[in-house]
Amino acid sequence: MKNAITLVPGDGIGLEVTAQAVRVLEAVGAQFGVSFRFETVLLGGAAIDEKGVPLPAETLAACKAADAVLLGAVGGPRWDDLSGARRPEAGLLGLRAGLGVYANLRPARLFPELRSACPLKDEIAGKGFDLLIVRELTGGMYFGDRGRSPDGEVAWDTERYSRKEITRLLTMAFRAARSRSGRLCVVDKANVLESSRLWRETSRALSPAWPDVEVSYMYVDNCAMQLVRNPSQFDVIATSNMFGDILSDEASMITGSIGMLASASLGDSGPGLYEPIHGSAPDIAGSGTANPLAAILSAALLLRHSLALEPCARAVESAVSRVLAEGYRCADIASGDPSEKVVGTEAMGDRVVRVLGRKEP
Ligand code: NAD
């Protein structure tokens, strides 16, 4: 059947926010005459409790068989004493590896209504920004040769990329740029690193095939500076695993709240993995206050990238904007302004569902 979605709520607020994302998917499906088939599986702490392992074989099989996977978050203090491979986070890493998702797409958008939550100066935040970081996820220094000298006094980690790995990542970034404003910035350290020079060489070889995409290059140190100086200059940023890890955290911080940020992890074929960037938030789990918008926006990415339902994706994104414009806030994005209506997880889901059901002028 088409539109098969495997749900992996995980632990803590993962269960609460994915429940709202499912309601929103059902509402947008009803609006556009599309149906989805959901199957829910265990991952992380919940899987350890029930099956004794963080990534049961049936979870991986159900995820691989789906068109897309929507994940909440894993982990929590109950499982903190377990060792490496038995921890909930090992389940998530195993799932990413098992699905072969090598590109992580992380949009960082400052919603105009949330400008007061942005830590940048007013004159910078006032211009707004809407950028997308495409980070290589399965290569580079995090996976390269590493070691220690016999006396323990010297250590090394190797940044290693093949042309093939760079090509498939950049192809995804070119495609993303084409579907947005047509601007792609490749971020590297080509003045020092040979691997970065291969990134530039590969990008220059690919760009004639994408005449509608304007490519620029920037050193990573400058990019880190430009993200706080003038983030509105960027549309799509493509970069390596380690540079992307750092830049995407910086970009998410300037949007104001972790409860708003979605992500997509994609491979060449097979299902994409969609998840909010936040964790299981044990400090607020069960209180009904978690912001479900990152999970809901992750569902919008799922509609766009895995199910090719762009109108549905846009409808969800504009419903979220509309709800914010109407003054609804979860506690994490509330500024204290008396005009705001602070709501909990379920009520925020209700607002998005209601806007989707409304006939807008
Ligand atoms: P976290 O993201 O869970 O929480 C950090 C802070 O942000 C907390 O104060 C939390 O209340 C708040 N927060 C997070 N999401 C929120 C939301 N949607 N709405 C409102 N507030 C929100 O990070 P942490 O506290 O470092 O980690 C908690 C657990 O989550 C750990 O076990 C960690 O390993 C795990 N974790 C999992 C993932 C994942 O599943 N992808 C990512 C990060 C952390």
Q: Which residue numbers in the chain have pLDDT < 50?
A: 361
Q: What is the pLDDT of residue 238?
A: 98
Per CATH, 1-102+270-361 and 119-254 having the same topology is answered yes
HSE (CB half, 13 Å, CA atoms) of 213? 27
Instruction: Please identify, by atom number, the ligand 1 atom nearest to the C-alpha of residue 74.
Output: 40
Q: Is 91 in the pocket of ligand 1 (CB under 6 A)?
A: no
Separation of CA 198 and ligand 1 centre (Å):
36
Instruction: Please identify, by atom number, the ligand 1 atom nearest to the C-alpha of residue 290.
Output: 19
> Active-site residue among 245, 274, 328, 332?
245
> Looking at the DSSP assignment, which residues form a beta bridge with residue 238?
134, 186
User: Residues, the chain, total?
Assistant: 361
HSE (CB half, 13 Å, CA atoms) of 20? 30
What are the angstrom distances between the C-alpha of 321 and each of 170, 178, 295?
Answer: 30, 23, 14
Q: Which fold has domain 119-254?
A: Isopropylmalate Dehydrogenase (3.40.718)
Q: What is the pLDDT of residue 361?
A: 47
Q: How far is CA 202 from the centre of its chain?
A: 25
- CA pair distance 276, 287, nearest whole angstrom: 19
In the numeric block, which tokens belong to residue 83? 């060792």
Q: Which fold has domain 1-102+270-361?
A: Isopropylmalate Dehydrogenase (3.40.718)
For the stretch 150-205, pLDDT in tens is 999 999 999 999 999 999 999 999 999 999 999 999 999 999 999 999 999 999 99
What is the dihedral sign for C-alpha 333, 358, 68, 58? positive
Separation of CA 74 and ligand 1 centre (Å):
9
Separation of CA 339 and ligand 1 centre (Å):
28
Asked if 249 is an active-site residue, the reply is yes
Separation of CA 278 and ligand 1 centre (Å):
5
Q: Is 280 in the pocket of ligand 1 (CB under 6 A)?
A: yes
Residue with CA closest to ligand 1 atom 36: 279
Q: Which residues contact 170 (CB under 8 A, 6 or more apart)?
A: 186, 199, 202, 203, 206, 238
Burial code of 82-111, b = ≥16 C-beta within 10 A, e = fewer?
Answer: eeeeebbbbbbebbbebbebbbbbbbbbbb
Residue with CA closest to ligand 1 atom 4: 281
Instruction: Please identify, by atom number, the ligand 1 atom nearest to the C-alpha of residue 279.
Output: 3
Separation of CA 184 and ligand 1 centre (Å):
31
- CA pair distance 239, 161, nearest whole angstrom: 12
Q: Is 73 in the pocket of ligand 1 (CB under 6 A)?
A: yes
Task: Find tokens 């047509």 and name the residue.
Answer: 182
> Active-site residue among 51, 64, 127, 142?
142
Whether residue 165 contacts residue 100, with contact meaning beta carbons closer than 8 Å, is answered with no
**Domain range list for the chain:** 1-102+270-361, 119-254
Asked if 161 is an active-site residue, the reply is no
Asked if 189 is an active-site residue, the reply is yes
